[in-house]
Amino acid sequence: MTERTTIERAELGRGGPVVGVQGLGCMGMSEFYGDTDEAAARATLEAALAAGVTLFDTADAYGSGANEEFLAPFVAAHRDEITLATKFALERRADDPAYRGIRNDRAYIRRAVEDSLRRLGVDVIDLYYMHRRDPAVPFAESVGAMAELVREGKVRHLGLSEVTGAELREACAVHPIAALQSEWSLFSRDVERSAVGAAAELGVAFVPYSPLGRGFLTGAFADAAADLSAGDYRQHQPRFTGDNAKTNAALLDPVREIAAAHGASPAQIALAWVQQRAAVHGLTVVPIPGTRKPERVAENTAATRITLTGPELALLEPIAGRVAGDRYPDMTFSSAAREE
């Protein structure tokens, strides 16, 4: 195994795996953000590993299993060098592509893990997340069933996604949780209400998803309606549509200004900001930007080496409060809907 030290490493939660401090989100390689060039996506995985990225993020729901299958050859080639994270809970239906059910029951979890293991071609998943919580199912059952998988050697560490601080505390009482993966970026800061503080207190690492605001923070969406291809899921995202997109594009001016001062791109400033939350809140932060382009990996990982100054952070502070539109068309899919 080659030693790669190009980005720093950190423990993903107390007793968790040691990973590069930036991971790679693989979702867009199979669904949601328009067409993908498969060769470029495969080159992106290799470029990420070469840059020191070791946490690779997928879910059974991405492409209804296709994203896990897509990753299998890469995983087979690099099994001992990577930390493989996948998720269960979002049920899809072949006859209704828009359908999303939330399943947290034990029987479903036991089936889901077997399906993910088979598609990924592995006998153990390094980090297994509950993608969404069904509040009707107590954590004793859902996290209890996940803990069984750890005892059986099918899963190494547990994670949750989009839970509140109170829910994280409840879950940790059933079994240690290594990582909380929720949306956190310059545009989305509702997790700071309770989840971030709870994660810091419990020794749970934070894995911010969509740290680039699903691409908006890169500055590529001045006119989202024109900039998104047909079939791109973001056409239905409130922040990318109509007047909201115009309002939100104007919020990027300070990001551009700071980027220019650092000789960096807006994407890098957005990533540096979320990375710097580690120092601000006293917890491990491992963002997982998604890209399908190998040339963007070096740009994104270089952001781990940018430090924003106090005055720069102050300029960025008001942005989230001014964003127009929710982060989901249906906010019941977010932990924010269950914040007290």
Ligand X SMILES: NC(=O)c1ccc[n+]([C@@H]2O[C@H](COP(=O)([O-])OP(=O)(O)OC[C@H]3O[C@@H](n4cnc5c(N)ncnc54)[C@H](OP(=O)(O)O)[C@@H]3O)[C@@H](O)[C@H]2O)c1
Active-site annotation, residues: 62
Nearer to ligand X, 116 or 181 (CB): 181
133 lies in the binding site for ligand X (CB under 6 A): no
User: From the list 30, 300, 301, 304, which residue makes contact with ligand X (rule: CB under 6 A)?
Assistant: 300
181 lies in the binding site for ligand X (CB under 6 A): yes
Q: Taking the CA of residue 185 as centre, how many other CA atoms within 13 Å lie in the half-sphere pointing to its CB?
A: 26
Nearer to ligand X, 191 or 267 (CB): 267
Stretch binding ligand X (CB under 6 A), from 99-107, 150-158, 207-215, 251-259: 207-215
- Alpha carbon separation from 103 to 109, 262, 319 (Å, rounded): 8, 45, 35
Distance CA 245, CA 239 (A): 6
Nearer to ligand X, 97 or 152 (CB): 97
- Alpha carbon separation from 118 to 60, 65, 124 (Å, rounded): 11, 10, 10
Distance CA 258, CA 262 (A): 6
| Cβ at position 58, least distance to ligand X in Å | 6
Enter the tokens of residue 334: 């977010």
288 lies in the binding site for ligand X (CB under 6 A): yes
292 lies in the binding site for ligand X (CB under 6 A): yes
Spell out where the chain has E strands: 9-11, 18-20, 24-25, 55-57, 83-88, 90-93, 96-102, 125-130, 155-161, 179-183, 205-209
Distance CA 216, CA 238 (A): 12
User: From the list 17, 52, 54, 57, which residue makes contact with ligand X (rule: CB under 6 A)?
Assistant: 57
User: From the list 159, 254, 290, 294, which residue makes contact with ligand X (rule: CB under 6 A)?
Assistant: 290
Nearer to ligand X, 157 or 214 (CB): 214
211 lies in the binding site for ligand X (CB under 6 A): yes
User: From the list 289, 294, 301, 328, which residue makes contact with ligand X (rule: CB under 6 A)?
Assistant: 289
164 lies in the binding site for ligand X (CB under 6 A): no
What is the CB neighbour count within 10 angstroms for residue 263? 8
Residue nearest to ligand X (CB): 25
286 lies in the binding site for ligand X (CB under 6 A): no
212 lies in the binding site for ligand X (CB under 6 A): yes
DSSP category for residue 306: -
Identify the CA nearest to 78 among candidates 119, 50, 59, 58.
50
Nearer to ligand X, 141 or 299 (CB): 299
154 lies in the binding site for ligand X (CB under 6 A): no
| Cβ at position 311, least distance to ligand X in Å | 24
Enter the tokens of residue 145: 């069933």
DSSP string computed for 2-54:
----SS-EEESSTT--EEESS-EE-GGGTSSSS---HHHHHHHHHHHHHTT--
296 lies in the binding site for ligand X (CB under 6 A): yes
- Under the rule (CB under 6 A), what is the footprint of ligand X? 25-28, 33, 57, 131, 161-162, 181, 209-215, 218, 220, 267, 288-293, 296, 299-300
